[in-house]
Structure 1
Amino acid sequence: MSAITSVPVVDVNKDNIAELWPSLMWAVRTSVFVAIDLELSGIGSRKEINAKAVEIAAVAASRAVVSVGLSCFLHVPRTQPTGPLKFRVQTFNILAMCSDSYLVEPSSIQFLITHGFDFNRQYALGVPFYKGNDKPPKEEPEGISLRHLMTQIILHKKPIVLHNGFIDLVFLYQCFYAELPRSLGTFLADLSEMFSAGVYDTKFISESKAAMPASYLEYVFRRRQRESASKEANGKAFVSVDFPEYNEKHLVDHGECALRSKFPSSATPVSVCKNFARYGWCTNGTDCPSSHNVDDILDAEAAKQQKKRQKGRPSSQSKDSEQQASDASLDSEEMEHNGKLDDHSSNCNASVPIVRQTTGLHRAGYDAFMTGYSFATFILSYAKTRPTSSGLEIGRLGLEQIANKLYLSGKNVPLQIQASHYAKHSPQHREKYSALFEKQAEMSNEL
């Protein structure tokens, strides 16, 4: 069974990070991939985001990360010849406090507070960090820090998964690795070496590969769950997740998870907000008279498809994204019958309230889980090689068509993470990266 009732998210702050550090390190080192989500103090204007690399660097230098979500997916080998693709998942929400001066944008404050972020708690309990290049060892002894966490992900060559990940990568680099290069080509070259096991962007996959009608995270997550529940019920391949039991003394939040037991009656349809349904936001916010509930949005889509089937005629809008998404789902089923892979996920979702508002529990840890979970289902959809019962290595599954490609708003082609003949690695990266692996080799020789 894949059904779960909630996702545990371990709260990490400066008071308990030392105690939780061994668990955090174990989760990273044993994972087959790590999903990451960041909450930021601001991202500047759209003009700045889409501008030159030097301006993007200025945005990252003047803003900061306020929390880090980390969801580590450990593959659990099958005990039978067939069965689900199973993961044990540990998810952490790390409060972060930048020791450098930074801007906090009013729009970001409003958004974060609306979604339950406590700035007073962040100021009091945030794990301290500084931006830019490493400080001399005398100023910063090695040990427990967000910067060290970043180096562990790099040293253990873990694939990383993000949703709409370009900005997250910019801030990960600037806040926890080194001074951001002023050239986009150099930045991409550095990333290709830092994350040589691959970077996966679920927003790119959702739009370009799965052809979903919408690609905001909560929608992608919920849609994949519904499709998965249907496929599990029909005896097809699916993803199953479970979680370790946590000590009562640990601060653990639970993101409630449940699919609706049945669709609401078609006699009383709920009016859904078209703008929120497509983009995941609405200018009217909570004043909008229509539903922002992703369950309602998906129910409306399902009802529309059912109505078309009952009429017994094919859709005349085969070119629109909704029909493409339906076709993609059918293609996945055909692949499984041909001995290839199908997609499925476990029954977990952001929420199930009937209230006409957004359903999401928006915090970095939970968003990281939604991102990683969605990616797990994409593995079953698009891997050319079936994961074996004994082990899973992302780089050997034939996922090249979705690897190292970042979604860019307003662009028809993704931003590819790769080294270029025209761009060299930055000196700060070369120095740090070489030192990291030299030190790791020395430690291995001592053992």
Structure 2
Amino acid sequence: MTSNSIFSRVPVIDVHQENLQEVWPSIVLAIKSATFVGMDLELSGLGNRKDLNCRAMDDRYRAMADVARTRSVLSLGLSCFKCTNIKTTEVKVKDREPTSPSKAKNDWKYLVQTFNILVLCEEDFIVEPITLKFLVDHGFDFNKQYAKGISYYRGNDKQTDQDLKSLRKLMNVLVLNKVPVVFHNALVDLVFLYHSFYASLPSSMGTFVTDLMEVFEGGVFDTKYITEYMERLPASYLEYAFRRCQRKNSFSQPHERDVVSLEFLDYPSTYTYVRYSHCELPHTMVERGDDVDSDHLQKILCHQYASFGWCQRGCSCPKSHDIDDIIDLDGIKSARKSRKRKRRRQNQANSSSNGEEMTEETDDSTEDSGSRDEGKEEFHPTVTKKLRTTSPESSETQGMNAKSNLDKSASNMSCDSGLEKVPNMSDLGIARKEGHRAGYDAFMTGYIMAYYFTKFGKLPTETRRNVKLTDLNVEEFKNKVYLCGKDIPLVITKSSFTKPSKDHREKMEKIKSKS
């Protein structure tokens, strides 16, 4: 078991009725020891998307609550990230002279355990045709869900709830241990999580937010908020954000930047319920200075998918949905804009210097300066005609997820689109040929969070082993949830004018009395 900043596959433990007893201790221990837990829910539908994006937040919440009461969770993904150590080393800022100054480079090491939990609601629920078709097309096994899904019921606890190993008990472990939870586009998942595994939803948005403050005392983190409000990425759907962080993190390894290193448990081959999602990096990336033909990318890419993470034509789309090509093209565009801004500033400086001549900078220095100004990665200055080749088997397209209309496109599968790729190069599309999995989506969410902790988190002054989020001073984006169509996030906080709901108070008393 070794840690590495560059990883090619992620072990995901499939959990269902037949192996819950065996896997239960591992899940509980992973949650209790986690620095934070990435989460994702696969749902049977989301109802009318316009209602879920109402301008008035109370109306938006009521629509989400109605959906949660009539739809169900199909699978629950948990990815437990334990920050085992933050190792600091001194590196030369510029390796030119022995006397060059040095700076601290931090290696954030995480032990990661990921679980994909198949669940089955015991009550009647709606399955929307568009969701059913999408999941079936992308490998979701409804026969397995109905045969092996772990049973649950919505709303408040039942009098007959005596099972020591259930989804509600798992939720209790999260609540009691005050574990920070991380989502990508959190609001819908929070509503479903609360009503499905905790208690009946309160009638108003204010009460719901007040309850959440006590349910998740460790804090709620939304990577969609970070990518939209803080990073302002060209796109912010889950796969794009994950792949971008993964690429930039691998590029940080040989440079003077903080890096995330992951460690996975070594599972024996006899553990048939452990499956691997592959996520190898491409052979060429603009971050490394590799050349890419931007004109060719403009022609072959599906620009709707590139912007939003879904395409109405799905696997029948003749354009490429390859996420690495999308990120390469965005990098080229960013570098060109930086050079243009730099030249404009130079021209303005020349005009104001009363004719005094200034030394013209090369494209190389222009791009470096522009990239730093934008907070972007430093891309290679020269764009030449050299395209990353790919094989037809690994080209990637995607249908529209039920969550995609809420800009939570975490679900990606591979389809043929006729592009040529580098032999043996695998990407997220290949990782999902075995089926649509909430567990891997939860891992991607957690990884994004781990990466941004290196950028925005404050290092603890003393111990750097078994780090807790309270040591990192991450209040800047704690309890801030992305809202589609809004300029400000939803802030999860207690209000002097709103009390917690009765069902929540009773549930908390019950949990604490049995702890």
**Distance (Å, rounded) in 1 between the aligned partners of 2:140 and 2:343:** 46
**Pick from 53, 74, 78: which aligns with 2:82?**
74
The answer as to 2:150 corresponding to 1:150 is no
CA contact (8 A) 1:89 1:241 kept: yes
Matched pairs, number:
413
CA contact (8 A) 2:195 2:201 kept: yes
Shift of 1:166: 0.3
Q: Secondary structure at the match of 2:165?
A: coil
**Distance (Å, rounded) in 2 between the aligned partners of 1:196 and 1:373:** 21
**Distance (Å, rounded) in 1 between the aligned partners of 2:88 and 2:446:** 25
**Pick from 108, 113, 131: which aligns with 1:85?**
108
The answer as to 2:333 corresponding to 1:304 is yes
**Pick from 373, 382, 385: which aligns with 2:447?**
373
* Partner in structure 1 of residue 510 of structure 2: 435
* Partner in structure 2 of residue 393 of structure 1: 468
Classify 1:306/1:328 alpha carbon distance in 2 versus 1 (closer, same or farther; 3 Å).
Answer: closer
Classify 1:237/1:65 alpha carbon distance in 2 versus 1 (closer, same or farther; 3 Å).
Answer: same
Structure 1 window deviating more from structure 2 (279-288 vs 380-389): it is 380-389
CA contact (8 A) 2:14 2:115 kept: yes
Q: Secondary structure at the match of 1:233?
A: coil
Shift of 1:83: 4.3
Shift of 1:287: 2.3
Shift of 1:439: 2.6
* Partner in structure 2 of residue 241 of structure 1: 262
RMSD over equivalenced CA pairs, Å? 2.5
**Pick from 353, 363, 374: which aligns with 1:327?**
374
CA contact (8 A) 1:308 1:315 kept: no
Shift of 1:401: 1.4
* Partner in structure 2 of residue 344 of structure 1: none
Cα displacement string for residues 116-155 of structure 1 (whole angstroms, at most 9, x for unaligned residues):
211111111100111100011xx12140101100010000
Write the letter of the residue equivalent to 2:328: D
Cα displacement string for residues 365-389 of structure 1 (whole angstroms, at most 9, x for unaligned residues):
0000000000001111111345742
Write the letter of the residue equivalent to 1:414: P
**Pick from 95, 101, 106: which aligns with 2:129?**
106
**Pick from 393, 400, 422: which aligns with 2:497?**
422
Percent identity, aligned pairs only? 42
**Distance (Å, rounded) in 1 between the aligned partners of 2:238 and 2:506:** 36
Cα displacement string for residues 353-412 of structure 1 (whole angstroms, at most 9, x for unaligned residues):
751524443410000000000000111111134574223111232211111111111111
The answer as to 2:180 corresponding to 1:140 is no
**Distance (Å, rounded) in 1 between the aligned partners of 2:72 and 2:9:** 30
Task: Give the alignment of 1:347-386 within 5 angstroms.
Answer: 354-358=394-398, 359-360=428-429, 361=432, 362-386=436-460
**Distance (Å, rounded) in 2 between the aligned partners of 1:429 and 1:238:** 40
* Partner in structure 2 of residue 169 of structure 1: 190
The answer as to 2:310 corresponding to 1:281 is yes
Runs of 5+ consecutive residues of structure 1 not aligned to the other structure: 317-322, 332-350, 441-447
Structure 1 window deviating more from structure 2 (404-413 vs 45-54): it is 45-54
Q: Secondary structure at the match of 1:61?
A: helix
TM-score (norm 2): 0.76
* Partner in structure 2 of residue 126 of structure 1: 149
Q: Secondary structure at the match of 1:220?
A: helix
Shift of 1:312: 8.6
**Pick from 36, 40, 45: which aligns with 2:39?**
36
Shift of 1:267: 7.9
Write the letter of the residue equivalent to 1:44: G
CA contact (8 A) 1:66 1:97 kept: yes
CA contact (8 A) 2:115 2:439 kept: yes
Cα displacement string for residues 27-51 of structure 1 (whole angstroms, at most 9, x for unaligned residues):
1111110111000000111133235
Write the letter of the residue equivalent to 1:62: T
Write the letter of the residue equivalent to 1:27: A
* Partner in structure 2 of residue 252 of structure 1: 274
Write the letter of the residue equivalent to 1:154: V
* Partner in structure 1 of residue 66 of structure 2: 58
CA contact (8 A) 1:42 1:108 kept: yes
Classify 1:218/1:356 alpha carbon distance in 2 versus 1 (closer, same or farther; 3 Å).
Answer: closer
* Partner in structure 2 of residue 262 of structure 1: 284
Write the letter of the residue equivalent to 1:185: G
Q: Secondary structure at the match of 1:398?
A: coil
**Distance (Å, rounded) in 2 between the aligned partners of 1:20 and 1:315:** 60
Cα displacement string for residues 232-265 of structure 1 (whole angstroms, at most 9, x for unaligned residues):
1214210000110123234111110211121474
* Partner in structure 1 of residue 301 of structure 2: 272
Classify 1:310/1:383 alpha carbon distance in 2 versus 1 (closer, same or farther; 3 Å).
Answer: closer
TM-score (norm 1): 0.87
**Distance (Å, rounded) in 1 between the aligned partners of 2:343 and 2:255:** 24
* Partner in structure 2 of residue 229 of structure 1: 250
**Distance (Å, rounded) in 2 between the aligned partners of 1:357 and 1:142:** 42
